[in-house]
Amino acid sequence: MLMDIGVLLLAYFLGSISFGLLLARLYGGQDPRHSGSGNIGATNVARLLGKKVGVFTLLGDCGKGIIAVVLAQCWGSSLLISAGAALSAVLGHVFPIYYGFRGGKGVATALGVLLPTLPMPALGGCLVWLVTTLLWRYVSAGSILAAVIVPVLAACLAYPLPLVGAAGAIACLILYKHRSNVQRLLQGSEPKL
């Protein structure tokens, strides 16, 4: 029981690491929280510091999600702990303890936690993101649609309920964090890729 709580806390603390902020400091750039969209994620970092730093941010945020879930799976306590670790890592990214609970939108970290837990739905979400982003050039629209499709696909493919529930909760977090993007999309003022 205590080890299970420890695994969930470790996932949260891993998720709280902001690669956008760390890489902005490493590359001597501006703090993404105070520039562009104010988000610490890969899209804003790429706009501010270039595509290379944006890709590194994406890989770091995705990687921490993978590590959090794989550690929980290695612990092997239960499927519920793996699902909880996935949600905890995304919660850490969205509400990081290290940065005053002001974090990113959770998309890259969600991809990281979903690849080892829901691989086929995660790939389906990636495909939806890619097609949406290429057609309409809105990263936010692709992210929102991908987040919504993953739990639907997971349920349709009869994945275990704890994993479907975690994917649904992650989708809700991503939708919540994209509420200003939805408003800008409706107004026609959302920046394109």
pLDDT at 193 (0 to 100): 79
pLDDT at 38 (0 to 100): 86
Largest CA distance in the chain: 50
Q: What is the mean pLDDT of residues 111-139?
A: 97
Q: Report angle CA 76, 77, 81 to the nearest 5 degrees.
A: 100
Q: Report angle CA 19, 87, 116 to the nearest 5 degrees.
A: 80
Q: Where are the domains of the chain?
A: 2-187
pLDDT at 157 (0 to 100): 98
pLDDT at 125 (0 to 100): 98
pLDDT at 76 (0 to 100): 73
Are the C-beta atoms of 79 and 123 separated by less than 8 Å? no
Q: What is the mean pLDDT of residues 177-190?
A: 94
pLDDT at 133 (0 to 100): 96
C-alpha–C-alpha distance, residues 177 and 121, integer Å: 21
| Average pLDDT value over all residues in the chain | 95
pLDDT at 31 (0 to 100): 87
Number of C-beta neighbours around residue 101 at 10 A: 12
- Cα dihedral 153, 158, 160, 166 in deg (nearest 10): 20
pLDDT at 30 (0 to 100): 82
Q: Tens digit of pLDDT for each residue in 5-24?
A: 999 999 999 999 999 999 99
Q: What is the mean pLDDT of residues 146-175?
A: 98
Q: Could you tell me what percent of the chain has a pLDDT over 90?
A: 86
> Would you say residue 186 has pLDDT above 80?
yes
Burial of 134 from C-beta contacts in 10 A (0-12 / 13-18 / 19+): exposed
C-alpha–C-alpha distance, residues 168 and 187, integer Å: 27
